[in-house]
Each structure stands twice: as structure tokens, then as C-alpha cells.
Amino acid sequence: MRSFAPVLTVVGAIMVIWYGAAVALNSSWAYDKAKRADVTLSFSEMVADTMAQKKPLLPAPHQVVAEIYKTTVLKKITSKRSLIWHGWVTLSATLLGFAMGTGFGILLAVGIVHSRAMDMSVMPWVITSQTIPILAVAPMIIVVLNAVGISGLLPKAFISMYLSFFPVVVGMVKGLRSPDAMQMDQMRTWSATQSTMLWKLRLPSSMPYLFPSLKIAMAASLVGAIVGELPTGAVAGLGARLLAGSYYGQTIQIWSALISAAVLAATLVALIGLIQNITLKRMGMLR
Amino acid sequence: MSWIIGALLFWAAMWLLNVQLSKRPQTRALSLLVPLIFGVTLLVLWEGMVRGFQISPILLPPPSAISVRFANSLPILWVDFVQTFVKGAMSGYIIGCGSAFLMAIAVNRSPFLQRGLLPVGNFVAALPIVGMAPILVMWFGFDWQSKAAVVVVMVFFPMLVNTVEGLKASDHMQRDLMQTYGASYWQGLMKLSLPAAMPFIFNGLKICSTLALIGAIVAEFFGSPIKGMGFRISTEVGRLSLDMVWAEITVAALAGSAFYGVVALIEKRVTFWHPSQRG
């Protein structure tokens, strides 16, 4: 709670800058309109106009909030204009990709920790795989998978998976190696097998490393799902709303999609944080 | 069929070789050789599978076709590389990281701003910033300026958060020592806080190096002049000449890895004192 006031101040400052920028960016269009209608605008009239344009360069915050309210609460969920429906499309791809990425990442980490050959040959490529801008080739993956007949949820989930497995691998390799030599020796004196050691020592002690990785992975897989929606011809999902908005100059729509993506990301990450707190508390690991 | 069996046999043989090699005492050459063998194995497996299952080159071209295409279209690839990487990604990277660095130093003087900005910065760093791309393209036009702007927005917050975190890394004793020396704020910053922050700063720089390339390429999907890696990828996908797309991906991968490598190399020189570099 100590940081409540500072955060509020920063958010307030951002709002002020946003309103200021909205006035500055939209004023030229307001003056242009007035000139054609042969009226001169006073300053306050100009400000009022910049707050209420239909296709502003930068919509004011309250316009975005109004649009979000209109498309979530006032529309039926099944309607294609409902932001909740689009959000759900994105969310389902995100969660599927996140689950696949996490599973794959943990398996890979277990393999890397147990096999030296795998550690030496796979790990450098895992790192290299992330310097390839996969987001940039996401459209191609979607188009190609579409051509093979795989469409809908799965191609987007694949991109999310590619983005989210990396933080999990790195975090879990660190976590599975975190038990120190004393603990490992103790297990050995009990003549524990490799798999017992994995289940009873390595996995539990990797939990503090797992959750921060999961947070990064979740944020990454949401980005993956959104970018994955761009090339599918703008059918459904938050990414499609972005693309459609940019085609038709609907800036308010772009911003509302963007803000709801942000809220979605924040909620998901906060949810993982909650699970982290509960789990670590029950395991007695909370610092 | 013989292609598939051959590729699988090659895979098995190379894997056995790697297992044997990794049992030897570790040397520098060995730690380069093992991943290299693994990489070659993947390429051979790819080639063998594509030929063996007779996958249409429209879906997945074999590595041999891609490398031929790569060698034949070097001029186009170079033009795209300059447009996207040098003009778009690099200028955005420098502006974004530079301004975030200066901002972090300014923020560092005020604990109030620090407490406020860090949670917000962490929040923004987790956001799908790529979504800003259409808006920025609308504002800054189709040429490389809008791509640089997208990169600036993408790299700003990760860099800011890392630098602020890093500037707090020097501990109390060290700061007290600087005070007993009668060091001014700037002396303390230059001689203590900044060097101590370097591992964090380079962490941010490394994260941003991959983000920069992604941002520049994705921004081109929303509008670009008739050159650039993102433009080429999206149009060649439309023409179904996937070998060109893969050649472009190769360029992106090489550029991304090289960029990351250069930053890591500078890091090694600057933070030679850090435990993670001494091992």
C-alpha cells in the first residue's frame, strides 16, 4: 500500500499527458472543419471538439472507456460486435498455447537437467530460437497451416507456444538445479532413484523459479495470439479488431481493443501471482 | 522412403556421437562442436523429411532450396535488411534505450517517482505493445520513421525497468563509503551506481535487441514502402514463394543472433568483474 499514492500520481500524470496530446493532435482537424464551415473557433470550443471527434488521431480516454462500455456491457456476448466475444477468441488461443508451451518447456527442462548431451546440444539452440523474430513470421505459419487444413485455434496456439516455452525452460532449468549438493547427497544416502529425486526434491524446490517464468510466458503468449490473429483476414479476436480498426481508420476501436488486451494481460498475470502466493505459502516457501 | 530412413539413421548416429562427446572433459571447442552437430542434424532431418514425404515446396521448402534462393537474391535481401534493420530497428533501438536510460537516471533521484513508475513500467512492459503498431504507422507515415517509433515504444519500458532496478544495485555500505569520500552526486553516479548497474542494463539491452527486430518487422505489416523484411515476408506469402520467405527469415535470424551476440560481447568486456562472467 506504500506505493499506492506514487502509482496514482504516475497514472494521473499519464492521463494529463494523454488529454493534452489528444487536444494537440486533434486540433488541426477541428480547425480544418471550422474553416470549411466558415466559423472561427474559440479555444474552449476547439478543446470540446477535440474530445468528441468520430475518427480522432488520438481519442481521449473517456471516449475509449465509453466505447469499451458500449461493446462489452450493451452488446450481447454472442454478437460479433461484442468485445467480450473477441476477447474470448483471443483468450482461448492464449490459454491453449500457454498450456502447451508450459508443458513442453517443463519436459525440455527435465530432459536438459538429466542428460548432459541434451544440455550441451539443445540449450544453445533454445536460446538462439528466441533471437529469431517468430512474431514476424507468424502470418506465414498461419497461412501455411491454413493451407494444410489446420485452422482456427491451433495455429495461433502454436505461435503462443513458441513464445511461451522459452521463459519456462530457462526458469525451470535453473529451478531444477537449485537443490544444493547437501540436499542431493541426502537423497542419495536414502538411495533415492532419479525419478524420486525429481518428484520429491527437484520439482518442489523449482516452484519459486517456475511462477515468475509463468508470468512472462503468459504475457508472451497473449502477444503471440494477438499477432496470430492479424493475417487471418480479420475475422475474430482482439488482433482482428486492431487490423480492422486500422483499415477503416477507426482509432477508437483500435484503442479499445488495445486497452482490453492490456486489461486481459494484467488479469492473467495477476491470477498467476495469486496462485503463486497460495502455493508458496502452503509449501512454506514464501519469503 | 530411403530419404526418411537415411535421415533418421543420421540423426541416431549423430546423437550417439554427441552423447560420447559430452562425456569427455569440457573444452571450448567441444562446447561449440556439440550444438553445431545438433544443428546440422536438424537440417538433415528437415531435408530428409521434406523429400521423403514429398511435401510440396509451397508448404515447406527444403533447406537446400532455401539456400539456393538465398544465394540468388542477395541484392534484394540486402536492401530489405538496410531498410528494416539499419534504418528501422537500429535507430529505434538507440533512441528508445537511450531515452529510457536518461529517464531512469532522472527517476533515480526521486524515491517517490521510483515507487510510482516501477509498477506502471512493469505493467506496460508486459503489455502487447505490438498492438500500437497500426496507430504509430498512422501517425508517422509508411517509411522507416514509423517503424523506429514502434521500436522506441517497445524497448522503452523494459529498458527503463531494468536500469532503475540496476541503479539500486549498489548496497548501503558502498554508498556510505562514497559519502565518506565526500563524493558529489555525479561522482557517486559515475564511479559507483552506473558500474554496479551494468549487469542489469545489459540484461535490458539484450532483451530489447530481440524486441527491436520484432517491432520493426511487425510494424511493416501495417503499411510500408515497397522494401523491407516485413513487407517482403507478407507479399511473398501472398505469392506462395515460401523459399523467399524462408530466406528472409534466415536473414532475420542471422541479424537477430548477431545483434544479440554483439551486445553480449560488449557485456563481457564491461562487466568482466561480475560472478556470472568469471566462471
Q: Which three cell numbers stand for residue B162?
A: 531494468
Nearest to A125 among B35, B115, B217 (CB): B35
Q: Output the pLDDT for position B99.
A: 94
Which positions in chain B touch A4 (Cβ < 8 Å)? Answer: none
Alpha carbons within 13 A on the beta-carbon side of A73: 6
**pLDDT score, position B252:** 85
pLDDT exceeds cutoff 60 at A60: yes
Task: From A55, A135, A221, select the one nearest B151 (Cα to Cα).
Answer: A135
pLDDT digits (tens, 9 = 90+) for B210-249: 888 888 888 887 777 888 888 888 788 778 788 888 888 8
- Determine the Cα–Cα distance for residues B160 and B121; give it in Å rounded to an integer: 7
> B70-278 sits in which CATH class?
mainly alpha
Alpha carbon B43 to chain centroid, angstroms: 22
Which cell numbers in the block locate residue B272? Answer: 568482466
Average pLDDT over residues A84-110: 90
- Closest residue by Cα to residue B194 from B168, B158, B172, B157: B168
Residue A232: the pLDDT is 59
Contacts made by residues B247-252, CB under 8 angstroms, sequence distance 24+: B247/B66, B247/B69, B247/B70, B247/B73, B247/B77, B248/B77, B248/B80, B249/A132, B249/A136, B249/A137, B250/B66, B250/B70, B251/B70, B251/B77, B251/B80, B251/B81, B252/A132, B252/A133, B252/A136, B252/A137, B252/B213, B252/B217
CA separation for the pair B204, B198 (Å, rounded) = 10
pTM for the whole thing?
0.79
CB contact residues (below 8 A), chain A span 154-213, against chain B: none
Q: Which residue has the higher pLDDT, A218 or A151?
A: A218
Query: Domain residue spans in chain B?
Result: 2-55, 70-278
Average pLDDT over residues B112-126: 76
The 8-class DSSP code of residue A54 comes to: S
Q: Is the pLDDT of residue B123 over 80?
A: no
pLDDT given at position B278: 65
What are A267-282's pLDDT values in tens digits? 888 899 899 889 888 8
Q: Which of residues 69-128 of A touch B (CB under 8 A)?
A: 116-117, 119-125, 128
Point out the least confidently predicted range of A245-249, A265-269, B160-164. Answer: A245-249
CA distance B79 to chain A (A): 18
Residue A222 has pLDDT above 60, yes or no: yes
pLDDT of residue A103: 94
The yes-or-no verdict on residue A88 having pLDDT over 80 is yes
Burial B227-241 (b: 16+ CB within 10 A, else e): bbbbbbbbebbeeeb
Between B144-167 and B194-220, two packed helices, what is the crossing angle to 10 degrees? 150
Find the closest chain B residue to A267 by CA distance.
Answer: B123
pLDDT value of position B83: 87
Query: Residue B97: its pLDDT value, please?
Result: 93
**At residue A231, does pLDDT exceed 70?**
no
DSSP states along chain B: -HHHHHHHHHHHHHHHHHHHHHHSPP-HHHHHHHHHHHHHHHHHHHHHHHHHTT--TTT---HHHHHHHHHHTHHHHHHHHIIIIIIIIIHHHHHHHHHHHHHHHHHHT-HHHHHHHHHHHHHHHTS-GGGGHHHHHHHH-SSHHHHHHHHHHHHHHHHHHHHHHHHT-S-HHHHHHHHHTT--HHHHIIIIIHHHHHHHHHHHHHHHHHHHHHHHHHHHTT---S-SHHHHHHHHHHTT-HHHHHHHHHHHHHHHHHHHHHHHHHHHHHTTTSHHHH-
> What are the two backbone dihedrals, phi and then psi, of residue A40, each rounded to the nearest 5 degrees?
-100, 135
Query: Stretch A115-131: mean pLDDT, rounded?
Result: 78
Report the pLDDT value the prediction gives residue B260, as an integer from 0 to 100: 86
| A120, A125, A126, best to mutate vs chain B, most B CBs in 10 Å | A120
Q: Kindly tell me the number of DSSP H helices and DSSP E strands found in chain A.
A: 12, 0
pLDDT band (50, 70, 90) for residue B181? very high
Mean pLDDT on B41-64: 82
Residues of B whose CB is below 8 A from A222: 128
- CB contact set of A276 (below 8 Å; sequence gap of 6+): A211, A214
CA distance A276 to A273: 5
Chain B contact for A46 (CB, 8 A cutoff): no
Closest listed residue to residue A114, CA positions, set B33, B35, B13, B22: B22
**Residue among B19, B126, B260 minimizing CB distance to A131:** B260
Q: Using CB atoms, pick whichever of B114, B134, B252 lies closest to residue A242.
A: B134
Contact A260, B127 (CB under 8 A): no
The size of the A-B interface in CB pairs under 8 A is 165
pLDDT band at A287 (very low <50, low <70, confident <90, very high): low
| CA B78/CA B76 separation, integer angstroms | 5
Top-confidence residue, A91 or A243: A91
The pLDDT of residue B161: 82
More confident residue, A3 or A176: A176
- Residue B221: CB atoms within 10 A of its CB come to 24
Confidence of residue A178 (pLDDT cuts 50, 70, 90): confident
Query: A118: nearest CA in chain B?
Result: B19
CB B157 within 8 A of CB B104: no
- For residue A233, the model assigns a pLDDT of 53
If residue A65 lies in a helix (H) or strand (E), which one and from where to where? helix A61-72
Closest B-chain CA to A246: B134
Q: How far is A262 from chain B (nearest CA, A)?
A: 6
- What span, in angstroms and rounded, lies between the C-alpha atoms of A220 and A167? 9
Q: Do A262 and B119 touch (CB under 8 A)?
A: no
Selected residue with higher pLDDT from A3 and A23:
A23
Which of A219, A246, A261 lies at the smallest CB-CB distance from B134?
A: A246
Q: Interhelix angle for A238-247 vs A83-114, to 10°?
A: 130
Q: Of residues B117 and A17, which shows the higher confidence score?
A: A17
Query: Do B156 and B99 contact (CB within 8 A), yes or no?
Result: yes
Contact residues on chain B for A249, CB-CB shorter than 8 A:
138
**186-245 in chain B: CB under 8 A from chain A:** 209-210, 213-214, 217-218, 221-222, 229-230, 233-234, 237, 242, 245
Average pLDDT, chain B: 83
Q: How many CA atoms are closer than 13 Å to the CA of A183, on its beta-carbon side?
A: 12
pLDDT (0 to 100) of residue A106? 93
- B 9-28 → A contacts, CB under 8 A: 15, 18-19, 21-23
Residues of A in Cβ contact (< 8 Å) with B210: 130-131, 133
Instruction: Tell me what pLDDT residue A130 has.
Output: 74
Secondary structure in 3-state letters for A199-233: HHHHHHHHHHHHHHHHHHHHHHHHHHHHHHHCCCC
Residue with cell 553516479: B189
Q: Are A209 and A178 in contact (CB under 8 A)?
A: yes
Average pLDDT on B23-40 reads: 80
Determine the pLDDT at residue A100.
Answer: 94
pLDDT band at A21 (very low <50, low <70, confident <90, very high): confident
Mean pLDDT score across all residues of chain A: 82
| In the predicted structure, residue A2 carries a pLDDT above the cut 70 | no
State in Å, rounded, how far the first CA of chain A is from the last one.
18
Mean pLDDT value across residues A106-129: 83
B185 in Cβ contact with B153 (< 8 Å): no
The H or E element spanning position A95 is helix A83-114
Q: How confident is the model at residue B126 (pLDDT cuts 50, 70, 90)?
A: low
User: Does the structure show a pLDDT above 80 at B121?
Assistant: no
* Residue labelled with grid coordinates 506504500: A2
Whether B227 contacts B83, CB under 8 Å? yes
The DSSP 8-state label assigned to residue A250 in this structure reads -
- Tell me which chain B residues have a C-beta less than 8 angstroms from the C-beta of A238: 131
Could A135 and B218 be called an inter-chain contact, meaning their C-beta atoms sit closer than 8 Å?
A: yes
The number of residues making up chain B comes to 279
At B113, the pLDDT band (50, 70, 90 cuts) reads confident
Nearest-neighbour CA in chain A from B41: distance (Å): 11
Q: Is the pLDDT of residue B96 over 90?
A: yes
